[in-house]
Amino acid sequence: MAAEDLFKNVISHAKEYGFIFPSSEIYDGLSAVYDYAQLGVLLKNNIRQYWWEAMVRLNENIVGLDAAILMHPTTWKASGHVDAFSDPLIDNKDSKKRYRADVLIEDHVAKLEAKIDKEVQKAEKRFGEAFDKEQFMSTNPRVLEVKERSETILKRMARSLEAEDLADVKALIEELEIVCPVSGSKNWTEVKQFNLMFGTRLGASAESAMELYLRPETAQGIFVNFLNVQKTGRMKIPFGIAQTGKAFRNEIVARQFIFRMREFEQMEMQFFIPPGTQKTWYAHWKEARLKWHLSLGLGQDNYRFHDHEKLAHYADAAADIEFKFPFGFKELEGIHSRTDFDLSRHESFSGKKMQYYDAEQEKSYTPYVIETSIGLDRMFLAVFSASLQEEELENGSRTVMRIPSVLAPYKAAILPLVKKDGLPEISKEIVDALKYDFNVIYDEKDAVGRRYRRQDAIGTPFCITVDHQTIEDQTVTLRHRDNMQQERIAIAELGQVLQKEVSLSSWLKKLEA
């Protein structure tokens, strides 16, 4: 299926099966805002929990926090968001469409890089078995030329953005002859900076009301609480604080479903370390986070690191874990070495000391920070799009969502073969026996084959079918979602099978193994 169709399929499947709806749809929706429906909320909760437990439960030096969305407005001056949290935007005068200037340039580079993929495919065909991709990539003149061109473009863009030279960003767009995807014209406005924070007001009377912002990231709630947590939790450096919660950004271009939303959820962890150790800890968290992703089994080829050329004002190193979404490789998670920027700034803006006394080193210092920051909604999209598969069968085809079983909304569906002869009663006893440990669903409507298909389409790893033999020997048919194989097992064994295959505890053990 073409990438575009695949993405359309993801969006329509999410709606049709009750995962994601547009927000306030009866009023025609609100741009880039979405609601999680009955199955979506289960999948989202499971992703959040898998992240949370991997961070907070498995690391004895990481604790949690749930800070408020509204924060004192000086927070955002100190963090740099009032001055610097903006994107460079550019309008096309003919289509009146607005774009992020950096994204236009990056998309241009992505098209160049797609040419490399084509060259590789051609060469693969030509050389067959003897093809050595690495050698080809490092010696083929056309590939090398495209690679160099891409790098030159990205370096120049990074330099101009860093120096706030927006005229040069526009010049680059013109030199590359980038056209508006809608109007096809090169009739561009100047590039301007646009602040992404949503403003709001606290208090009722006009005079006393305070201008606030909805937080654009959860991280600052962690920084301002650093000393509170460190002292009350008697935490010794190195230690981390993890938090999940809503963040808000008035994104300029927000049209990739839940990839770029105006209201979204982040899962962030700030790890406080002695100055000078940031290289080691940065490498550690890059590796640990990739391991977490790979543990879900969505395929190693779907991930790659992208090390940043252009560093944010607070960072001395930064990398993205990119995921192969239906529209190409894009950022899923960021890992940032933030130095002591945040704590120092809060110290100077609040006048309160943000230092830590290190008993081993017998001195006080402002800790450095390594941050891991992932969008829960982007993670949802990654899991959802990689799991959704159309499979050809001998007698037709099926839609199956191979959601990692620890994340699946329902772990098992309990299906009486027919709606009589006592089969529903036994099925409900099985539901009652399993429901305290696992989220299971009972379904007695339609022929059993159709019920299997429906469970495949929502990613339920197991179907448990109760038939007349069950009355005689207390066994059921256990059907596996991924290979559709069926086996006969005793009702008494169901709990153990589910525990091993789908429980959070066994997945966490695998992650640590």
Residues that bind ligand ATP in the complex, under the rule CB under 6 A: 217, 249, 251, 260-261, 264, 266, 331-334, 373-375, 377-378
Q: Looking at beta carbons only, is 176 or 312 nearer to ligand ATP?
A: 312
Least separation in angstroms between residue 89's CB and ligand ATP is 13
Least separation in angstroms between residue 319's CB and ligand ATP is 11
Least separation in angstroms between residue 362's CB and ligand ATP is 36
Least separation in angstroms between residue 464's CB and ligand ATP is 36
Q: Looking at beta carbons only, is 377 or 443 nearer to ligand ATP?
A: 377
Least separation in angstroms between residue 378's CB and ligand ATP is 4
Q: Looking at beta carbons only, is 342 or 456 nearer to ligand ATP?
A: 342
Q: Looking at beta carbons only, is 217 or 467 nearer to ligand ATP?
A: 217
Beta bridge partners of 500: none
Q: Taking the chain, what is the end-to-end CA distance rounded to the nearest angstrom?
A: 37
Least separation in angstroms between residue 381's CB and ligand ATP is 9
- Contacts of residue 237, defined as CB under 8 A and 6 or more positions apart, other chains included, come to 272, 273, 274, 356, 358, 367
Q: Which three-class secondary structure state does DSSP give residue 212?
A: strand
What is the b/e burial string over 57-86, where b = at least 16 CB atoms within 10 angstroms of the residue's CB? eeeeebbebebeeebeeebbebbebbeebe
Residue located via tokens 């891991």: 372
Least separation in angstroms between residue 268's CB and ligand ATP is 7
Q: Looking at beta carbons only, is 371 or 444 nearer to ligand ATP?
A: 371
Q: How far is CA 386 from CA 55, 141, 342, 422, in A?
A: 24, 34, 36, 40
Cα 324 to Cα 166: distance, rounded to the nearest angstrom: 30
Q: How far is CA 154 from CA 113, 190, 275, in A?
A: 12, 20, 31
Q: Looking at beta carbons only, is 48 or 398 nearer to ligand ATP?
A: 48
430, 414 in Cβ contact below 8 A? yes
Count, in order, helices (H) and strands (E) of the chain: 18, 23
Q: Looking at beta carbons only, is 338 or 378 nearer to ligand ATP?
A: 378
Residue located via tokens 């959704």: 388
User: By Cβ distance, which residue is nearest to ligand ATP?
Assistant: 375
Q: Looking at beta carbons only, is 236 or 313 nearer to ligand ATP?
A: 313
Neighbours of 53 (CB within 10 A): 15
252, 194 in Cβ contact below 8 A? yes
Q: Looking at beta carbons only, is 230 or 266 nearer to ligand ATP?
A: 266
Cα 247 to Cα 69: distance, rounded to the nearest angstrom: 8
Least separation in angstroms between residue 190's CB and ligand ATP is 22
Which tokens in the block code for residue 511? 């992650």
Closest CA to 377 of 333, 345, 434, 417: 333
Least separation in angstroms between residue 273's CB and ligand ATP is 19
261, 253 in Cβ contact below 8 A? no
Q: Looking at beta carbons only, is 373 or 405 nearer to ligand ATP?
A: 373
383, 43 in Cβ contact below 8 A? yes
Q: Looking at beta carbons only, is 260 or 481 nearer to ligand ATP?
A: 260
- Contacts of residue 334, defined as CB under 8 A and 6 or more positions apart, other chains included, come to 318, 319, 320, 321, 371, 372, 373, 374
Beta bridge partners of 70: 214
Least separation in angstroms between residue 247's CB and ligand ATP is 7
174, 182 in Cβ contact below 8 A? no
Least separation in angstroms between residue 104's CB and ligand ATP is 14
